[in-house]
Amino acid sequence: MEAPVFLWRVAAILLTCETGYLCYIGPPGLGLYLSSVNSNPLDSPMNIYRNLKTGTLASLLILLLCLMQGCSSMDQLVVYVGTYTGGKSESQGIYRYRLDLRTGAMELEGATASESPSFLALHPDGGFLYAVNESSAEVSAFSIDPTTGDLTFLNKLPAGGSLPCHIVVDASGKNVLIATYGGGNISAFPIQKDGSLGEATAFVQHERSPTDERGPNAHSINLSADNRFAFVADLGLNKVFVYRFDAAKGTLVPHEEPSAPLKPGAGPRHFAFHPDGRYAYVINELDSTMTTFAYDPERGTLREVQTTTTLPAGVEKSWTAEVQVEPSGRFVYGSNRGHDSIAVFAMDPENGTLTLVEHEPTQGKFPRGFGIDPTGNFLLVGNQESNVIVIFRINQKTGELDATGQVLSVPKPVCVKFLAL
């Protein structure tokens, strides 16, 4: 028996009210979209029910829908890996795997041709995937087969600048937003009814001021949980820029407090919100540090709380890359390229500050990207220069990483995204 789609939408509204996060549930099997964590469907409806307080309206409705639909606990995920193609790379484009959440085993299921799809983003309903094509300066759209996860190419458009390097889908599922490193700009593209991309509705060029040591290098773009603000880490201008975002119009307008500065020479690269929405973390590429910001969700402003190194003492010639917050919010992870490690931090819920737990070797070279699965049990590291993904199990008490022994050969891996089918 299939549950009506409108009931899933009602459940999502109730869950949003109860949790304070913008949530999306269904269609059945596509999972929960929790926008304050990242742009991926996160969990199966039955697992959501088990984590809610029993007796609430949302929990009762979700349980009813699960019984109608025959939902089961999530024990497998589709994993998409974005890569670099061309040159000495043997990559075909976007690789698709199946991850067993019980064992941590992962198997290759297929690959979809695409030119250097270095960073990926999933639509909140799980039906589409979007990629920036770094070498060709384009952005591409794909539909997702709801049974297999296989990708079908829809269309591609010019990115608006060279070296597009980051991409997100907004919580409404109406827009794709991208950042271009070489162009130093950001853009928004409307998503059409069939999932394809329309011509850009917003374009913002970052400009170098007389006091800036470098030109603009927009390295990432992220959205607030309420979908009102966009945050752009610009490595060259050494700031996190803040924009007011209108999902209905697809527009980006500089905020009243237009940016948050970093310490001189930091070079902000990637940005991640804490699940509670009160803190954000920026990993800085040039000086290998992590900056904690307190976030005011009403005003859309950032205030620096702490900056700490991601490296052991005495290490040189290393550059950070990715930052992610584990789904429970207790631990924050950052990758070091050169030192070839994951820096693991424990987060203090009182003030958002970080305390180093360990530096875990990635068992490969140049860990450009990594992903934490929605259950928070596994961390998958893409070692770009050694062409492998290494799977670690996350210790739920300490946050420490333990290698599972799973090492997969993947040409030039960069980005890892998860989808529940």
* Domains of the chain: residue spans and CATH: 5-69 (no CATH), 114-261 (2.130.10.10)
Tokens 């296989």, located at residue: 150
Nearest-angstrom CA–CA distance, 286 and 8: 45
Q: Is 153 exposed, middle or buried (0-12, 13-18, 19+ CB in 10 A)?
A: middle
Segments of 114-247 assigned E as strands:
117-122, 128-133, 138-144, 151-158, 164-169, 175-180, 185-190, 202-205, 218-223, 229-234, 239-246
Nearest-angstrom CA–CA distance, 377 and 324: 14
Q: Computed from CA positions of residues 47, 50, 56, 62, in that sequence, does the dihedral angle turn out positive or negative?
A: positive
The pLDDT of residue 328: 87
Query: Residue 41: CB partners within 8 Å, gap ≥ 6?
Result: 24, 30, 31, 32, 33, 122, 124, 125, 126, 374, 419, 420
The pLDDT of residue 211: 86
Residue 290 C-alpha from the chain's centroid:
17
Bridge partners of 179?
166, 186
The pLDDT of residue 16: 56
The pLDDT of residue 8: 53
The pLDDT of residue 56: 58
The pLDDT of residue 82: 98
Is residue 288 a contact partner of residue 311, using CB atoms and an 8 Å limit?
yes
- For residue 204, give the nearest of 259, 156, 260 by alpha carbon: 259
The pLDDT of residue 31: 43
Nearest-angstrom CA–CA distance, 94 and 84: 9
Q: Kindly report the backbone phi and psi dihedral angles of residue 186, in degrees, each rounded to the nearest multiple of 5, phi listed first.
A: -130, 155
The pLDDT of residue 75: 83
Residue pLDDT tens, the chain, 421 long: 445 555 555 655 555 555 554 454 444 344 444 333 333 334 444 444 444 444 556 555 555 555 554 444 468 899 999 999 999 999 999 999 999 998 999 999 999 999 999 999 999 889 999 999 999 999 999 999 999 999 999 999 999 999 999 999 999 999 999 999 999 999 999 999 999 999 999 999 999 988 888 999 999 999 999 999 999 999 999 999 999 999 999 999 999 999 999 999 999 999 999 988 999 999 999 999 999 999 999 999 999 999 999 999 999 899 999 999 998 899 999 999 999 999 999 999 999 999 999 999 999 999 999 999 988 899 999 999 999 999 999 999 999 999 999 999 999 999 999 998 8
The pLDDT of residue 390: 98
DSSP for 142-173? EEE-TTT--EEEEEEEE-SSSSEEEEEE-TTS
The pLDDT of residue 35: 37
pTM listed for this prediction: 0.86
Nearest-angstrom CA–CA distance, 388 and 69: 38
